[in-house]
Amino acid sequence: MKLAVIGGDGIGPEVVAEGLRVLRAVHDKVETTEYDLGARRWRETGETLPDSVLEELRGHDAILLGAVGDPGVPSGVLERGLLLRLRFELDHHVNLRPVKLYPGVTSPLAGDPTIDMVVVREGTEGPYAGAGGVLRKGTPQEIATEESINTRFGVERVVRDAFRRAQRRPRRKLTLVHKNNVLTKAGDLWSRTVAEVAPEFPEISVDYQHADAASMFFITNPGRFDVIVTDNLFGDIITDIGAAITGGIGLAASGNLDPSGAHPSMFEPVHGSAPDIAGKGVADPTATVASVAMLLDHLGLTAEAARVEQAVAASLAARAASSGQPLSTREVGEDLAERSTSASTSAA
């Protein structure tokens, strides 16, 4: 496995080190190349993602990213110049985000709800396209526009992907989340596409929620969701709600996938670089390790993926039951690596 590694800034390199520890524990043929990208590089060189680096990244099987950014970088520079550029250039049209409340993890929602869904967020178009413009900037007559671009091609492929994922889950339910009562043009394209693809998946029950109502149900009744398919911006928001209700952004994993395999997919924890705790060895690498499980699954190493996923669940349950000191970044990594390999033994 040729893996590109972007540790990034803040706690990024720390959590990625533990992700790699676990990856190596379950798979012995990992060849890594590290890429220095993020706030530090931008500050030193003005570069966000040089074309030559992008070309090199294309030569890998997958990318593991920690986190980039720090408060000194103007908003948008690394987001558009690095993170979104990677998603767009590498055609990461399936932004996959499981929303799962692990046993033992405390939800801020009262009454310990069962939460186990996966959000398939479109990753290469919609309001994230970057289209739009500014006229008469800085004057009282300024106008700024943002254009959401939605194509049948782009919507259909992510809708199909979501249907296929729903097929592999016990509840076999797919919910389209949009705002088709207001964004009638894009909303209609999404709704029609789901309706037209649905007959190919007769065993999947399909429903629809507006983004505002869905956000509410994430709180009042998260158990109603199984697989969600949604546009880039709604997906951004609802997956953060999903992270919040399942124990916080510190546990949320994500994959930016090109399911066709034409480009390397990228895996990253949803959390940021957390400069306040960087270098202290206290960051929780669990979200990165859960992202490694997604990476393994994406590359067809499903048994290894399952072991890491089980290790994550077991480790979280054990930590919840323990009354000791919180573990260090490295201790969590070692625990997860050990659980991933002993799970392997017991399964053998």
Ligand X SMILES: CC(C)[C@H](C(=O)O)[C@@H](O)C(=O)O
Of 100, 102, 179, 231, which one is the catalytic site residue? 179
Instruction: Report the residue number, 265 or 315, with the smaller CB distance to ligand X.
Output: 265
Which residues are 265's β-sheet partners? 62
Decide if residue 182 touches ligand X (CB under 6 A): yes
Does an H or E element contain 287, and which?
Answer: helix 286-298
Of 236, 258, 297, 335, which one is the catalytic site residue? 236
Told to judge if 128 belongs to the known catalytic residues of this protein, a careful annotator would answer: yes
Q: How far is the CB of 182 from its own copies (least distance, A)?
A: 6
**Residue 275 annotated as lining a ligand binding site:** yes
User: Tokens 């895996």 map to which residue?
Assistant: 267
Decide if residue 84 touches ligand X (CB under 6 A): yes
User: Tokens 């520890």 map to which residue?
Assistant: 21
The token pair that represents 287 in the structure block = 């979200």
User: Tokens 């798979």 map to which residue?
Assistant: 27
Told to judge if 212 belongs to the known catalytic residues of this protein, a careful annotator would answer: yes
User: What three-state secondary structure class fits 58?
Assistant: helix
CB neighbour list of residue 216: distance below 8 Å, 6 or more residues apart:
none
Instruction: Report the residue number, 180 or 344, with the smaller CB distance to ligand X.
Output: 180
Instruction: Report the residue number, 70 or 309, with the smaller CB distance to its own copies.
Output: 70
Question: Which residues in this chain contact its own copies in the complex, by CB under 8 A?
Answer: 75-76, 79-80, 84, 106-111, 127-128, 130, 132-134, 138-153, 156, 179-189, 191-192, 211-213, 215-217, 219-220, 233, 236-241, 243-245, 248-249
Residue among 80, 38, 79, 54 nearest 263 (CA): 54
**Residue 97 annotated as lining a ligand binding site:** yes
Pick the piece of the chain touching ligand X (CB under 6 A) from 77-85, 105-113, 218-226, 320-328.
77-85
Rounded Cα–Cα distance for residues 52 and 36 (Å): 13
In the sheet that 173-178 helps form, which strands lie side by side, from edge to edge?
31-34, 2-8, 62-67, 265-269, 253-257, 94-100, 116-122, 227-230, 173-178, 205-210
Residue type, 248: G
CB-closest chain residue to ligand X: 79
Mode of pairing for the β-strands spanning 205-210 and 62-67: unpaired
Residue span 218-257 as binding mask against ligand X, x where in contact by CB under 6 A, dash where not:
------------------x---------------------
Q: Which of residues 1-60 bind ligand X (CB under 6 A)?
A: none
**Residue 46 annotated as lining a ligand binding site:** no
Told to judge if 335 belongs to the known catalytic residues of this protein, a careful annotator would answer: no
Told to judge if 179 belongs to the known catalytic residues of this protein, a careful annotator would answer: yes
**In this structure, are residues 125 and 89 in contact, taking their beta carbons and an 8 Å threshold?**
no
Q: Which residues contribute to the annotated binding site for NAD(+)?
A: 272-284
Q: Which residues bind ligand X (CB under 6 A)?
A: 79, 83-84, 181-182, 212, 236
Catalytic residues, by residue number, are 128, 179, 212, 236, 240
